[in-house]
Structure 1
Amino acid sequence: MRKPQLALLLALAAAMPAWPQPRSNAFHDPFVQVTSAIAACPVPAGPLYTEAEARAAEHVRTQHGTSCYHSGRCRLPNSYLYDAEIIPRVAQYIQRDGRFAGTSVWVVGERRLVTLLGCVQSREQAEALEKSVQLVDDVMGVINHLAVPGEPPPYDVAK
């Protein structure tokens, strides 16, 4: 192939839109819907990664996961091992607490951190939910990404 043809092919390839990369829950982080009372609440995308993003995150996740054990803060050898057991208990806790029945909430577990996604009736309800989840055994922290009516969701939305 001659240089002008090769240059033209390279220019065309660079100008083409990139194909969307498939995304998956590569690390099997627990992600569940806990309540569903607000029909108009945007569904979160969940913990999804492209293959490249997953490769880039592997080292950091390994380091974060084992440092908890090595420092003596975790009894299990990797802090991500707690998540599969924590998230069902968080879901049960939220569902049995009558204060949160009028919400649409999803929870994600990652490294003993619980992320709250979805919609609540008020900022006070969001704060109460955050404080309540913090009380669940083995939860190290809670990340509150809950929206109230009229606010855009503070999380990526499922497509």
Structure 2
Amino acid sequence: MSSNLIAAAFAFLSILPAFAQQPRTNAFNDPFGQATSGFPACPVPTGPLLTDDEARREAHWRAERGTSCYRSGRCRLPNAYRYDEEIFPRALQYIRADGRFDDTSIWVTVQRRWVTVQGCVRSAEQGAALEAAVRQIDDVEAVIGQWMVGTSSKPPYESR
């Protein structure tokens, strides 16, 4: 084998991982944004980003979960994801207006009436109070707390 061919093969193999890694996007336009910024060193969550392959795999599951809410009588709208655009701004407004969370850095994602709160709080009690507050918002079915106390440990969520 010639040295040029070997060099070309190694060059191709070195760029192969770049082709294998797909870009991640918010394929389903799930509402995601920052509610508070009182903890500047808090790791920023990646948000609801998926590769094209992950989005294709998740599409059927999302359709099933979205419509089962309506079929069971728990939702007035025919798809649970239709609530998300309404819940998101109310969640941000509620967290910001409450006052107890001004010294936190919190990001919110809403998917099918489930609100995920990610970020940094000052105490476990403050994190629990945040979850309890968000649970009070109309049309919220569940709250998923993925926060950490302080900024020195590894966050319980993917971060940038």
Question: TM-score of the superposition, structure 2-length normalised?
Answer: 0.88
- 1:98 aligned residue: 99
Q: SS of the counterpart of 1:107?
A: strand
Question: 1:115 aligned to 2:116?
Answer: yes
Q: SS of the counterpart of 1:35?
A: strand
**Identity among equivalent pairs (%):** 56
Task: List, as ranges, runs of 4+ consecutive aligned residues in structure 1 with deviation greater than 2 Å.
Answer: 15-19
* Distance in structure 2 (CA, Å) of the matches to 1:131 and 1:100: 12
Aligned residue runs from structure 1 range 9-20, under 5 A: 16-17=16-17, 19=19, 20=21
User: How big is the alpha-carbon RMSD for the aligned residues of Structure 1 and Structure 2?
Assistant: 1.7
The alpha-carbon deviation at position 16 of structure 1 amounts to 4.3
* Distance in structure 1 (CA, Å) of the matches to 2:155 and 2:138: 28
**Structure 1 regions of 5+ residues with no counterpart?**
1-8
Greater displacement, 104-113 / 148-157: 148-157
- 2:69 aligned residue: 68
Aligned residue runs from structure 1 range 78-157, under 5 A: 78-149=79-150, 150-157=152-159
Question: TM-score of the superposition, structure 1-length normalised?
Answer: 0.89
For 1:47, give the aligned amino acid.
Answer: P
**Structure 2 regions of 5+ residues with no counterpart?**
1-8
For 2:156, give the aligned amino acid.
Answer: P
- 2:3 aligned residue: none
- 2:6 aligned residue: none
Q: SS of the counterpart of 2:129?
A: helix
For 2:30, give the aligned amino acid.
Answer: D
Show CA shifts across 1:81-134 (max 9, x none).
000100100100000011000000000000100000010101110000000000
Show CA shifts across 1:30-73 (max 9, x none).
00100001110000000000000000000000000000001110
Q: SS of the counterpart of 1:100?
A: coil
* Distance in structure 2 (CA, Å) of the matches to 1:89 and 1:143: 17
Show CA shifts across 1:2-22 (max 9, x none).
xxxxxxx8xx86x94353210
